Chains A and B, each alone.
Chain A
Amino acid sequence: MLSAAKAAGAGQGATAVLAALLEARTGQQIAQDRAWRLDTALKPLLRERGMESLDQLVRELLLGQDHQLGDRIVDALLNQESSFFRDAPTFDLLGEALGEITAGRRARIWSAGCSTGQEPLSLAMLLAERGADAFEILATDVSEGALARAKAGRFTQFEIQRGLPIRRMMRWFDADGADWVAKPELMRYVSFRRINMVADQQPPGRFDLVMCRNLLMYLAADQRQAVLGRIAAALRPGGLLVLGAGETVIGQTNAFAPSPRWRGLYEAAERAGGRAAA
């Protein structure tokens, strides 16, 4: 593990310690030229703890009295942006593909890096509306903060309006004060668990579909490759991987190849290769 002390020894002070903490916990690197982001991202936490500076924050972190501080810092540094039906056309494709590959048996889906829950809930709405009931979605993230919000199924007015058609909001959410809360009949399709894609070696089961969108882009190339290898091992035969709109496996790994059947989705490589050769 990249120790905070080692990074501090590199002589860049607080910034280096924080960057090392983030990398050790999540595999994410902060480029030197983006270090300014630390300041902005951590300002609310500093204010909450009544601290003056990043130096003070790092001192507290290294003293190790406050066991939640590391988690809170990592949460603040992660990009957790998400929205309902992000890359909307992808969702229709997923509905179709799942229908075909599971052919009536229970579908298992993994939303890896689910953030605050919009991704798994979008898929759950879509599948339920297509008349499917035999499916379950495991939604995981490294961030306890994001997971807690996802588990609550609670969204602000701004969040609920981003990407979610009004009829779906009416069908699947209840108003609660200024927020909107997913109904139990939607939440029941999804279970939540903390999984660190970089550190946790054992996949949480075998899946027909893995959604890993807008997460790999933050990882270094070797980690990205390792994560993709583990995802490939977590697929059932015929299983598919979907990435974010700007992401690809091409040039990143040998574990996956573009699906010849489903444009924009990926299959484990032996499978795609075998089919191409057949």
Chain B
Amino acid sequence: MKILVNFDLCKSNAVCMASAPEIFEVRDDGYLYILQEEPDETHRAAVEEAVRLCPTRAITVEDQAL
């Protein structure tokens, strides 16, 4: 899976970081960093939770064709 964040929508409130800290990190500069853009499947549940809980619906997951 590939993680996409629409940075025009993202408000850096770090809610995604609570669900998937290995993937998302908001740093002291106030910006969100995607730590792994193409994480393996073990992160799927956490990433899907982050997608749901992102208050601005800024995160999408793209599934590459196998």
**Is A bound to B?**
no
Residue ranges of B at the interface with A (Cβ–Cβ < 8 Å): none
Residue ranges of A at the interface with B (Cβ–Cβ < 8 Å): none
